[in-house]
């Protein structure tokens, strides 16, 4: 596209412009003759002394939604505190029919060549700087780096769902201690920097050399462990009601979990296979469920069922039929249209686990959506739980105000809250109890607790703290 000379002289909140520019350093790097330059201004009002930064898109990742879409660009900018304008420089995205589906960070990784490339990009970056950056004599433009621990990756499949839109399934090799470590990931185009699901995968044959490419072998899902950072802490929340669950097991019943947001299904599978839960999952997009079964090892059976539906609407529906309704109120669910799994809603649940994001990256990554913490929804969720039940939430707060709002909303409905800091500077787990939880008795012989200790790192169980209202 053509760009007017004065386009970049001022900062315009949320302005996004991309254009093609000749490579000023073609002979000394692995980038093409023409470069894609994308410029995004922060949605916030600019300060008097703004800062701009640049980032070179890793070679062979120019087609990755993280770098090729405005949404991905916005998330990169949001993760760069104090930066008012972020400029991405990389190869032109390729025709999807001819694009390479593999990435190897070793290819084109020449620090000396990159340093020369950065130096020769500086004149165009200066030209892309707003006038307010030149108040002082010295104007510095730092180059940011993108690190996600991916050594190699290969696209397994791309598809589109009616609710979540385009999605990507990819196998990646990540940095490990000794052995090669492989993962399978699910990402959505609407929020490309967020890994929706991640599981461990194992090669179908022995890999004799580190030079064997990730696209040269087939993998099978390993659902015996949880590798997504916030899922083990969510499961650790079950320790708060381990004694009650043990009583349930002694009476010949399975503990029951209701999961809102299925993704790749790793949480559902783990609760079922490792902890012995009867699990029901609800996912808004049928295509996501299909992907979970095909690529992530989700297998339905008598004690693990998944249906298409909106968990928030289900809880609203239940709240509308209070005070008599709970998951035994079949009419509440019939009116929502979940007749295919009604038999599995007849008894209240011990645990409800909610893993839903805001679906809108324009205001930054956050979870859960604000719709979930509306009082009718929380009342409906509470009515679906036993008196000894808990609601477990994955929380990604945009800021402290957002986090405090979630806490206040939960305390209007639930008498006790517990918190677990995941420790990744992003996620928290909040556990809301229907009834006050008694101090831990001696549960060293508790079967559920033993399973938890073997399945979840002890530090998560030990780090759960009660929030004072």
3-state secondary structure of 364: coil
Residue 327 has pLDDT above 50, yes or no: no
Compute the distance between CA of residue 153 and CA of residue 104 in angstroms, rounded to an integer: 7
> What is the structure's pLDDT at 337?
42
- Distance between CA 387 and CA 247 in Å, rounded? 14
> Residue 29's pLDDT is what?
72
* E strand residue ranges, 261-383: 278-283, 304-308, 349-354
The fourth-level CATH superfamily of domain 231-467 is: Vaccinia Virus protein VP39 (3.40.50.150)
Whole-number pLDDT of residue 334 = 38
pLDDT at 118 over 50: yes
How confident is the model over 332-357, as pLDDT tens digits? 443 444 434 434 456 899 999 999 99
Work out the pLDDT band at 443, boundaries 50, 70, 90.
low
pLDDT per position as a tens digit, 231-246 = 999 999 999 999 999 9
List where CATH 3.40.50.150 sits in the chain.
Answer: 231-467
Is the pLDDT confidence value at 360 over 90? no
Residue 216 pLDDT? 80
CA-CA distance, 395 to 390, in Å (whole number)?
15
Q: Are 110 and 133 in contact (CB under 8 A)?
A: no
pLDDT (mean) for 265-273? 97
Q: Quick check: 65 and 51 in contact, CB under 8 A?
A: no
- pTM for the predicted model, two decimal places: 0.89
pLDDT of residue 339: 38
CB 58 within 8 A of CB 100: no
Taking residues 360-384, report their average pLDDT.
Answer: 89
Express each pLDDT in 56-106 by its tens digit.
999 999 999 999 999 999 999 999 999 999 999 999 998 655 445 789 888
- From residue 267, give the alpha-carbon distance in Å to each of 283, 355, 371: 13, 10, 23
Q: What is the DSSP string of 126-195?
A: HHTS-GGGGSSS----PEE-----EEEEEEEEEEEETTTEEEEEEEEEE--SSS-EEEEEEEETTSTTSE
Cβ-based neighbour number of residue 250 at 10 Å: 9
Burial call 337-350: b when 16+ CB within 10 Å, e when fewer: ebeebeebbeebbb
Mean pLDDT of 407-411: 98
How would you class 39 by CB atoms within 10 Å of its CB: exposed for 0-12, middle for 13-18, buried for 19 or more? Answer: buried
């Amino acid at each position: 596209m053509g760009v007017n000379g004065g386009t970049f002289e001022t900062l315009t909140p949320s302005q996004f412009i991309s254009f093609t520019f000749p490579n000023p350093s073609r002979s000394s790097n692995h980038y093409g003759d023409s470069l894609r330059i994308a410029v995004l201004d922060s949605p916030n009002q600019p300060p008097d002394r703004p800062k701009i930064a640049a980032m070179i898109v890793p070679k062979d990742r120019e087609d990755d939604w993280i770098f090729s879409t405005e949404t991905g660009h916005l998330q990169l900018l949001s993760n760069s505190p104090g930066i008012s304008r972020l400029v991405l420089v990389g190869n032109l995205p390729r025709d999807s029919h001819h694009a390479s589906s593999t990435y190897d960070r070793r290819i084109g990784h020449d620090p000396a060549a990159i340093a020369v490339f950065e130096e020769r990009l500086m004149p165009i970056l200066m030209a892309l700087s707003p006038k307010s950056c030149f108040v002082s004599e010295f104007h510095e433009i730092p180059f940011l780096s993108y690190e996600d621990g991916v050594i190699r990756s290969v696209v397994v499949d791309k598809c589109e769902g009616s609710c979540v839109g385009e999605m990507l399934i990819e196998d990646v090799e990540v940095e490990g201690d000794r052995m090669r470590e492989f993962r399978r990931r699910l990402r959505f185009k609407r929020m490309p920097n967020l890994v929706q699901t991640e599981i461990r995968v194992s090669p179908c044959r022995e890999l004799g050399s580190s030079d064997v490419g990730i696209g040269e072998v087939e993998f099978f899902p390993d659902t015996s462990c949880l590798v997504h950072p916030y899922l083990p802490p969510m499961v650790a929340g079950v320790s708060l009601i381990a004694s009650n669950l043990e009583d349930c097991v002694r009476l010949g019943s399975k503990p029951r979990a209701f999961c809102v947001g299925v993704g790749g299904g790793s949480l559902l599978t783990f609760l079922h296979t490792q902890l012995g839960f009867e699990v029901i999952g609800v996912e808004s997009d049928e295509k996501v469920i299909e992907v979970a079964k095909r690529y992530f090892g989700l297998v339905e059976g008598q004690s693990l069922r998944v249906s298409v539906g909106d968990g928030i609407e289900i809880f609203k529906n239940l709240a509308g039929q209070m005070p008599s309704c709970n998951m035994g109120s079949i009419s509440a669910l019939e009116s929502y249209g979940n007749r295919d799994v009604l038999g599995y809603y007849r008894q209240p649940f011990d645990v409800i686990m909610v893993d839903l994001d805001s679906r809108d990256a324009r205001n930054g990554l956050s979870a859960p959506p604000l719709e979930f913490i509306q009082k009718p929804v929380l009342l409906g969720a509470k009515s679906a739980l036993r008196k000894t039940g808990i609601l477990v939430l994955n929380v990604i707060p945009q800021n402290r105000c957002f986090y405090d709002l979630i806490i206040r909303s939960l305390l209007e409905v639930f008498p006790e809250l517990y918190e677990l800091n995941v420790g990744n500077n992003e996620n928290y787990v909040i556990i809301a109890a229907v009834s006050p939880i008694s101090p831990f008795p001696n549960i060293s012989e508790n079967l559920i607790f033993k399973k938890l200790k073997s399945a979840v790192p002890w530090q998560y169980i030990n780090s759960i703290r009660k929030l004072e209202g």
